[in-house]
Amino acid sequence: MPSRTLLSLAVAAFALTPLMAHAEPWSYTDSLGNTVTLDAVPTRIIASQDAAAGLIPLGIRPVGIYADGPLADAKALQGLDLTGIEIIGQAWGEVDIEKAAALQPDLVIAEYWPLDNAWSGGENVVNALTPLAPITGPTNGDSILALIEDYETIATSLGADLDEPSIAADKAAFAAAKAAFEAATAAKPDLTALAVWAGTDALYVAATAGAAELMDFHAWGLNLIDPEVADDRGYWETLSWENTDKYQPDLILVDNRSPATMETALAQPTWTLMKAAEAGAVTDWPAFWLRSYHAYAGELDKITAAINAADENLGD
């Protein structure tokens, strides 16, 4: 081998040595007690749509995203810049494994859902992706605020700077929105609210414990009416449209993942059997999709305005 080539290889090896010596292992332990450990901080991340919505506002951009349905319907991702990110799935339980493999991921970040005993996307997605990279992430538990804080922890470990001005501003806006929400509920301690999803077949009443944001609202002073029976894995009670008036809240929160939900409710003649619906005491429920301070602040502001305008004796 020519001496010049040997010299070049030696110089290259010397230059790489400090980088290799300073590469530190990365690890994350999920709520189930499972720890993922890698030789270095992962940079090529595939994320579920909700994980992506938690990470992108904190400056961590995945190389690929798998969504639960058509990307245009992914409420959590609306308003986020997805330029350059490969979309590897747009249906629940499905991913394009060839696209995923081509991304050469170091890590898959998803969410664990205790009521379903499953990771984002379900068993089929987990089985497809884990041969490519380990899967980990936070648990969607009893607080969206806690979930966002978990994303902060992961993002920091991946190199995010939480002192970056836009991130700090979003956090400050959320703190102000939360304080205003708490002031509104404190001013109307007797006000009751009901969270629902409207289908053409029935009205679905949400169980507080089945939705992390509802748990937050409850913790911050909103009296949510819980259904007597949550018959769908602990998420909903199903009411025929003839029995819409089973509960009489002062304020109705309607699942806003799709505009069609409110349209469906308004199209039902029995919708106004609830006094709050007849009075127009209806606002958005940001059901299951909040993952950032920015989005949370905006949704809290809407609910706070509705609480301030509501009659806390309407449902009596």
Tell me whether residue 263 is in a domain.
Answer: yes
Q: In this structure, is residue 88 part of a structural domain?
A: yes
How does pLDDT run across 208-249, given as a tens digit for each residue? Answer: 999 999 999 999 999 999 998 777 678 999 999 999 999 999
**Which of 160, 191, 220 finishes a domain?**
160
In a domain, residue 52? The reply is: yes
- Give the pLDDT confidence of 165-189 residue by residue, as tens digits: 999 999 999 999 999 999 999 999 9
Domain end marker among 104, 133, 160 = 160
* Reported pTM: 0.90
Whether 127 and 230 share a structural domain: no
pLDDT, residue 103, reads 98
CATH at 226: 3.40.50.1980
Q: Does 165 fall in a domain?
A: no
Domain membership of residue 227 as a residue range = 179-309
- Closest C-alpha among 283, 284, 286, 271 to residue 310: 283
Token match 């994320």: residue? Answer: 47
Q: Is residue 16 part of a domain?
A: no
Kindly tell me the burial class for residue 307, based on how many C-beta atoms sit within 10 Å of its own C-beta (0-12, 13-18, 19 or more).
buried
On the CB side of 48, CA atoms within 13 Å amount to 28
Q: Give φ, ψ of 55 to 5 degrees.
A: -90, -40
What type of residue sits at position 20? M
Average pLDDT, the chain: 92
Residue range 117-168, pLDDT digits in tens: 999 999 999 999 999 999 999 999 999 999 999 999 999 999 999 999 999 9
Pair of tokens at residue 196: 């629902």
User: Which has the closest alpha carbon to 125: 103, 109, 144?
Assistant: 109
Mean pLDDT of 200-209: 96
256 is a domain residue? yes
- Cα separations in angstroms, 216 against 72, 185, 222: 27, 13, 9
- Among all chains, which residue has been given the structure tokens 């590897």? 88
Assess if residue 314 is contained within a domain.
no
Distances in whole angstroms, Cα of residue 126 to Cα of each of 36, 120, 161, 307: 15, 8, 30, 41
Q: Are 127 and 208 in a shared domain? A: no
- Could you tell me if residue 3 is inside a domain? no
Q: How many domains does the chain have?
A: 2
Rounded mean pLDDT, 247-272 = 97
Q: Do residues 30 and 133 share a domain? A: yes
First-to-last alpha carbon distance for the chain, in angstroms, is 92
User: Do 28 and 148 fall into the same domain?
Assistant: yes
Whether 187 and 150 share a structural domain: no
φ, ψ of residue 47 in degrees (nearest 5): -130, 145
